[in-house]
A and B are shown apart, each in its own frame.
Chain A
Amino acid sequence: MTARLTRFDWHGYLRSLRFSLYTMRRPLDGFWDLIHEKRGSMAAAHTIVAIAVIVEILRLVLTNFQFINLNMEMFSAWWVLGQMVIPILLFSVANWCLTTLFDGKGKISHIYMGYAYAMVPQIIINAALVPISHVITYSEGAFHWMFTIIGYMWFVLLLLCAMKEIHDYSFSKSILTTILSLFAIGIMIFIFIMFFAVVSDGVAYFVSIAQEAIFRIRRG
Chain B
Amino acid sequence: MKRIFLVLFVAALSAVLMPVTVTAGGASHYTYSYNEWGIPIPSPDAYRVTAFILGEHLGVGNFNNPRDLQVWENYLYVVDTNNNRVVVIKFQDDGTFELAEVVTHVYINGEASPLNRPHGMFVSPWMQNYGQKWIADTENHRILHTDENWNVLTVIDRSKLELSALEDDRHFLPLKLAVDFSGRLFAQVAMVNRGLMEFDNDGYFAGYMGAPDVTINPWQRFWRRISTRDQRERGWLFVPVDYNNVTIDNEGFLFVTSSGPDVEPVRRLNAMGSDVMIRNGFEDPQGDLWVGNAGHIQGSSVLIDVTALPNNTFVVFDRTRGRLFAYDNQGELLYAWGSYGHHEGAFMLPVALDSMGFTLFALDATTGAVTRFDLTEYGRHINDALAMYQRGLYEESYDIWQEVLRINGNFSLAYIGVARALLRRGYYRDAMDLFRMQNDNANYGRAFGFYRRQWMEEYFWMFAVVLGVLIVVPPVVKKVIKVRREILES
Measured CB to CB, the residues of A under 8 A from B are 65-67, 69, 71, 135, 137-141
Give the number of A-B contacts (CB < 8 Å). 30
Q: 9 A–B contact pairs at CB < 8 A? A: A66-B444, A67-B441, A71-B37, A137-B445, A137-B448, A137-B452, A138-B445, A138-B448, A139-B446
Residue from B37, B436, B441, B446 with most neighbouring chain A CB atoms (10 Å):
B441
State whether A139 touches B449 (Cβ < 8 A).
Answer: yes
Chain B neighbourhood of A141, CB < 8 A: 445
Chain A facing B: main interface SS? loop
For A139, list chain B residues within 8 Å (CB). 442, 445-446, 449
A66 to B304, CA, bound (A): 36
Of the four ranges (under 10, 10 to 19, 20 to 34, 35 or more), the interface on chain B belongs to 10 to 19
Least CB separation from A67: chain B residue: B441
- List of B residues within 8 angstroms of A67 by Cβ: 441
Q: Evaluate whether A69 and B439 lie within 8 angstroms (CB atoms) in the complex, with A135-B452, A137-B452 already known.
A: yes
17 more CB-based (< 8 A) A-B contacts, given A138-B442, A139-B449: A65-B444, A66-B445, A66-B448, A67-B441, A71-B37, A135-B452, A137-B445, A137-B446, A137-B448, A137-B449, A137-B452, A138-B444, A138-B445, A138-B446, A138-B448, A139-B442, A140-B445
Q: Is the CB of B448 within 8 A of A65?
A: no
Within the complex, the shortest CB–CB distance from B126 to chain A, in Å, comes to 41
Q: How far is the CA of A69 from the CA of B446 in the complex (A)?
A: 17
One digit per residue, 1 when the CB lies within 8 angstroms of any chain A CB and 0 when it does not, for chain B 4-42 equals: 000000000000000000000000000000000100000
* B441 A69 Cβ-Cβ under 8 A: yes
B441–A138 touching, CB < 8 Å: yes
Bound together, the chains give a CA A67 to CA B439 distance in angstroms of: 11
Among A67, A69, A135, A137, the one with the most B-chain Cβ atoms within 10 Å of its Cβ is: A137
In the bound complex, residues from chain A placing their C-beta under 8 Å from that of B436 are 65
Residues of chain A within 8 A (CB-CB) of B452 are 135, 137
Q: Which residues of A contact B446 (CB under 8 A)?
A: 137-139
Residues of A within 8 A of B445 (CB): 66, 137-141
Q: How far is the CA of A135 from the CA of B451 in the complex (A)?
A: 11
Determine the distance from Cα of A137 to Cα of B441 in the docked complex, in whole angstroms: 9
Chain A residue with minimal CB distance to B443?
A138
Min CB distance A138 to B, Å, is 3
Closest to A138 in B: B445
A125, chain B: closest CB distance, angstroms:
21
Chain A to chain B: the 9 pairs with minimum beta-carbon distance, closest first:
A138-B445, A137-B445, A66-B441, A137-B449, A138-B441, A137-B448, A71-B37, A138-B442, A66-B445
Closest chain-A Cβ to B355's Cβ sits at a distance in Å of 36
Shortest A74–chain B CB gap in Å is 9
| In the bound complex, CA of A48 to CA of B446 (Å) | 37
Bound CA–CA A138/B448 (angstroms): 9
Specify which chain A residues have a CB less than 8 angstroms from the CB of B442 in the assembled complex.
138-139
- Which of A67, A71, A138, A141 has the most CB atoms of chain B within a 10 A radius of its CB? A138
CB of B321 to closest CB in A, whole Å: 26
Closest to A135 in B: B452
Q: Chain B contacts of A65 at CB under 8 A?
A: 436, 439, 441, 444
By beta carbon, the residue of chain A nearest B449 is A137
* Alpha-carbon distance A111/B444, docked complex (angstroms): 44
- Residues of B near A69 (CB, < 8 A) are 439, 441
Alpha-carbon distance A190/B449, docked complex (angstroms) = 48
- Residues of chain A with a CB closer than 8 A to B441's CB: 65-67, 69, 138
Chain B 447-469 per-residue mask, 1 if CB under 8 angstroms from chain A, else 0: 01100100000000000000000
Contacts of B439 in A (CB 8 A): 65, 69
The minimal Cβ–Cβ distance linking B402 to chain A, given in whole angstroms, is 25
Q: How far is the CA of A65 from the CA of B441 in the complex (A)?
A: 7
Q: How far is the CB of B445 from chain A (nearest CB, A)?
A: 3
**B-side contacts of A137, CB under 8 Å:** 445-446, 448-449, 452
> Contact flags (1/0) for B409-443 with A, using CB distance below 8 Å?
00000000000000000000000000010010110
Task: Report Cα–Cα, A137/B436, bound state, in Å.
Answer: 13
CA distance A161 to B442 in the complex (A): 39
Collect the chain A residues with CB atoms within 8 Å of residue B37's CB: 71
Query: Closest CB of chain B to A113's CB: distance in Å?
Result: 36
Closest to A70 in B: B37
Most buried by A among B442, B444, B445: B445
A213–B273 alpha-carbon span in the complex (Å): 69
CA distance A69 to B439 in the complex (A): 8
* A-contact bits for B390-424, CB 8 A (1 contact / 0 none): 00000000000000000000000000000000000
The distance in angstroms between the C-alpha atoms of A69 and B452, with both chains bound, is 21
A69 to B282, CA, bound (A): 13
Chain B residues numbered 106-152 whose CB sits less than 8 Å from any CB in chain A: none
Contact with A along B196-237 (1 / 0, CB 8 A): 000000000000000000000000000000000000000000
> In the docked arrangement, what's the CA distance between A67 and B452, Å?
17
CA distance A140 to B484 in the complex (A): 50
> Which chain B residues lie closer than 8 Å to A71 at the CB level?
37
Assembly CA distance A67 to B37 (angstroms): 16
In whole Å, how far is A191's beta carbon from the nearest beta carbon of chain B?
Answer: 23
Q: How far is the CB of B84 from chain A (nearest CB, A)?
A: 55
Collect the chain A residues with CB atoms within 8 Å of residue B448's CB: 66, 137-138
A69 — nearest CB in chain B belongs to which residue?
Answer: B439
Distance to closest chain B CB from A6 (angstroms)? 45
In the bound complex, residues from chain B placing their C-beta under 8 Å from that of A135 are 452
CA distance A106 to B448 in the complex (A): 51
* A140: chain B residues within 8 A (beta carbon): 445
Chain B residues near A138 (CB, 8 Å)?
441-442, 444-446, 448
Cα distance A138–B452 in the bound complex, in angstroms? 13
CA distance A67 to B444 in the complex (A): 11
Residues 342-382 (chain B) with a chain A CB within 8 angstroms: none
- CA of A65 to CA of B442, assembled, Å: 10
Complex-state Cα separation, A173 to B342, whole angstroms = 69
Measured between C-beta atoms, what is the minimum distance from A137 to chain B in Å? 4
A69 to B442, CA, bound (A): 12
Q: CA of A65 to CA of B445 in the docked complex: distance in angstroms?
A: 10
